[in-house]
């Protein structure tokens, strides 16, 4: 009886722990919806990998070239918050060493200007949750640059089936960068068992943000691109901007520092030094910073208020969020022209994937009459996160950033940052975003380069895998 009672108490404790951590209060500042500000000093940036049959692919990249330029021009302040920040590369590959380039740019700026205040925030995946040492983080810290690995345990649990047990049995053990003996799927250093026990929690600081100052003021970059060698050939999108919206972005980053127990003094100082938006000044072109669940609310509003004659274009690495899938189908039924461009979820850093969830979401959308195409990739990923609405009367809305359209990315489980731009179809930003989408959409087989493929190229009509996706999406037993 005593043993049964003990087992019952353990099961009750694990269940209660798992339940609580799916519903617990969020840290302050999560799910942030910034003020609508005038769009200032904005430039849309894109990365593309173009395939020309048997020829070597051509890389057309802008994002990290701009990021490195922003860092080199900084005078007082640099803040980097990037999800994947490591140099894991395939042997003999021609990947760009983005992690080394970013690290060197920060070290160079620190050496040239010792007074510049630099803060680096990243996800603990880069040290396999404390089981290895990041040479990049180590170099930055030795140069006096703080590197904050986000405390993810403060977030709600995305996979309660595992996380309740993990919090009960394993979280208290911590981790160590020495003594690892297991193979490392993310690098060469062996890792501990504790690293693998942390991995199935399936949560992340998935943001991709850069904030700097220069002689003209503060500028920011919000993007879908990571400083990760293995991701250097992915297609991505980003927006650089200035003005008072940068203060909102700094506020959202302050929340990450605070929840991680890090010093916020530098960020507070920069926020106080930024000029406030002038009251009563109207602007036709605006920008708004949104994070976590505020991104979902924004996307739902963009899709849900579209009318017959309007156009919705979605380019997405992962698309699985049930609410947004239903909104897309309803928009199509209302007469909105909906075009969906997806990654086939076939490749991940040299490993073959199952196609879940995109092929299952595509099957559902295709069955509803929505046209779906696949990015033509050869080892790299179609990693953009872009929603563009162009109205019949000429207005436009553009949502882009780090967030995939999944439960994990949009329901306050990951940390995410996106921006909403409101403008018109003739603005430079909207025209470039539309061109980025249209070029991929229209360059199919028979065109040069081939940039997209029809739905049938990667169609998966299996009902078993469809319900597998639905189960994974509902329970959190997934990496998407």
State the pLDDT at residue 423: 97
**What predicted TM-score, i.e. pTM, was given to this entire model?**
0.95
State the pLDDT at residue 100: 96
Residues 268, 125, single domain; the answer is yes
24 inside domain: no
Range of the domain at 116: 37-272
CATH code, 355? 3.30.870.10
Contacts of 57 (CB under 8 A, 6+ apart): 49, 50, 51, 233, 378
Q: How many CB atoms lie within 10 A of CB 261?
A: 9
How, if at all, do strands 236-242 and 40-50 pair? antiparallel
Residues 465, 441, single domain; the answer is yes
* Integer angstrom CA distances of residue 37 from 29, 281, 295, 420, 432: 19, 10, 17, 10, 21
**Which has the closest alpha carbon to 175: 125, 138, 141?**
125
Residues 344, 433, single domain; the answer is yes
Residues 303, 431, single domain; the answer is yes
Say yes or no to pLDDT of 347 above 90. no
State the pLDDT at residue 132: 92
Among candidate residues 219, 238, 272, the one where a domain is terminated: 272
Instruction: Kindly tell me the burial class for residue 214, based on how many C-beta atoms sit within 10 Å of its own C-beta (0-12, 13-18, 19 or more).
Output: middle
Residues 442, 348, single domain; the answer is yes
CA distance 128 to 176: 10
Kindly report, residue by residue over 25-34, the tens digit of the pLDDT. 999 999 999 9
The phi, psi pair for 318, rounded to 5°, reads -125, 125
12 inside domain: no
State the pLDDT at residue 278: 59
Confidence class for position 1, pLDDT limits 50, 70, 90: low
Confidence class for position 90, pLDDT limits 50, 70, 90: low
Residues 223, 132, single domain; the answer is yes
Residues 241, 301, single domain; the answer is no
Among 165-174, 328-337, 368-377, 425-434, the minimum mean pLDDT is found in 165-174
Instruction: Kindly tell me the burial class for residue 82, based on how many C-beta atoms sit within 10 Å of its own C-beta (0-12, 13-18, 19 or more).
Output: buried
CA triple 339-341-347, angle to 5 deg: 165
Q: What is the largest CA-CA distance in the chain?
A: 75
Kindly report, residue by residue over 123-155, the tens digit of the pLDDT. 999 999 999 999 999 999 999 999 999 999 999
14 inside domain: no
Residues 268, 289, single domain; the answer is no
Contacts of 279 (CB under 8 A, 6+ apart): none
31 inside domain: no
Paired strand residues for 445: none
Contact 412, 292 (CB under 8 A): yes
Residues 240, 334, single domain; the answer is no
Contact 257, 154 (CB under 8 A): no
23 inside domain: no
Kindly report, residue by residue over 219-237, the tens digit of the pLDDT. 999 999 999 999 999 999 9
Domain count, the chain: 2
**Which has the closest alpha carbon to 22: 475, 480, 478, 479?**
475
Paired strand residues for 84: none
Confidence class for position 280, pLDDT limits 50, 70, 90: low
19 inside domain: no
Residues 264, 317, single domain; the answer is no
358 inside domain: yes
* Integer angstrom CA distances of residue 69 from 156, 205, 230, 247: 36, 24, 22, 21
Residues 198, 173, single domain; the answer is yes
61 inside domain: yes
* Integer angstrom CA distances of residue 346 from 228, 322, 396, 460, 471: 19, 22, 32, 12, 20
State the pLDDT at residue 445: 87
Q: Quick one: average pLDDT of 406-430?
A: 97
Residues 309, 267, single domain; the answer is no
What six digits make up the tokens of 242?
Answer: 């200035």
Among candidate residues 272, 298, 314, the one where a domain is terminated: 272
Q: Cis omega before residue 357 (within 30°)? A: yes
Say yes or no to pLDDT of 160 above 80. yes
Among candidate residues 251, 272, 293, the one where a domain is terminated: 272
State the pLDDT at residue 254: 98
CA distance 144 to 432: 39
């Amino acid at each position: 009886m005593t043993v049964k009672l003990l087992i019952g108490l353990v099961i009750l404790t694990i269940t209660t722990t798992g339940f609580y951590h799916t519903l617990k209060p969020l840290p302050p500042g999560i799910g942030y919806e910034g003020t609508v500000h005038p769009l200032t000093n904005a430039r849309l940036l894109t990365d593309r990998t173009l395939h020309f049959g048997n020829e070597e692919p051509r890389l057309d990249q802008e994002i990290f070239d701009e990021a490195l330029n922003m860092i080199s021009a900084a005078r007082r302040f640099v803040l980097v918050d990037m999800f994947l920040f490591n140099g894991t590369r395939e042997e003999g590959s021609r990947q760009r060493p983005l992690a080394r380039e970013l690290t060197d740019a920060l070290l160079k700026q620190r050496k040239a200007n010792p007074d510049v205040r630099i803060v680096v925030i990243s996800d603990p995946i880069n040290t396999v949750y404390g089981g290895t040492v990041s040479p990049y983080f180590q170099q930055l810290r030795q140069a006096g640059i703080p590197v904050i690995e986000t405390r993810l345990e403060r977030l709600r649990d995305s996979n309660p089936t595992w996380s309740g047990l993990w919090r009960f049995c394993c979280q208290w053990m911590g981790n160590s960068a020495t003594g690892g003996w297991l193979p490392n799927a993310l690098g060469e250093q062996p890792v501990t068992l504790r690293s693998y026990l942390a991995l199935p929690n399936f949560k992340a600081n998935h943001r991709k943000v850069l904030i700097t100052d220069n002689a003209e003021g503060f500028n920011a970059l919000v993007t879908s691109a990571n400083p990760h060698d293995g991701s250097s050939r992915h297609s991505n999108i980003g927006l650089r901007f200035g003005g008072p919206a940068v203060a909102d972005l700094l506020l959202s980053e302050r929340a990450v520092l605070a929840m991680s127990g890090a010093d916020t003094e530098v960020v507070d100082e920069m926020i106080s030094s930024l000029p406030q938006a002038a009251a009563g000044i109207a602007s036709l072109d605006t920008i708004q910073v949104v994070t976590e669940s505020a991104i979902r609310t924004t996307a739902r509003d963009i899709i849900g208020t579209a009318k017959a004659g309007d156009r919705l274009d979605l380019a997405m690495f992962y698309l699985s969020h049930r609410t947004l899938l239903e909104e897309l189908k309803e928009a199509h039924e209302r007469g909105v022209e909906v075009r969906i461009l997806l990654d086939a979820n076939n490749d991940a850093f040299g490993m073959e994937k199952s196609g879940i969830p995109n092929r299952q979401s595509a099957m559902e959308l295709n069955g509803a009459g929505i046209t779906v195409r696949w990015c033509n990739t050869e080892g790299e990923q179609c990693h953009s996160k872009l929603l563009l609405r162009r109205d019949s009367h000429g207005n436009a809305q553009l949502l882009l950033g780090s967030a995939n359209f999944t439960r994990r990315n949009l329901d306050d489980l990951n940390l995410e940052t996106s921006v909403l731009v409101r403008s018109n179809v003739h603005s430079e930003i909207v025209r470039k975003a539309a061109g980025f989408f249209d070029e991929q959409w229209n360059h199919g087989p028979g065109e040069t380069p081939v940039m997209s493929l029809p739905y049938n190229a990667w169609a998966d009509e299996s009902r078993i895998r469809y319900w597998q996706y639905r189960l994974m999406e509902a329970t959190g037993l997934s990496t998407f």
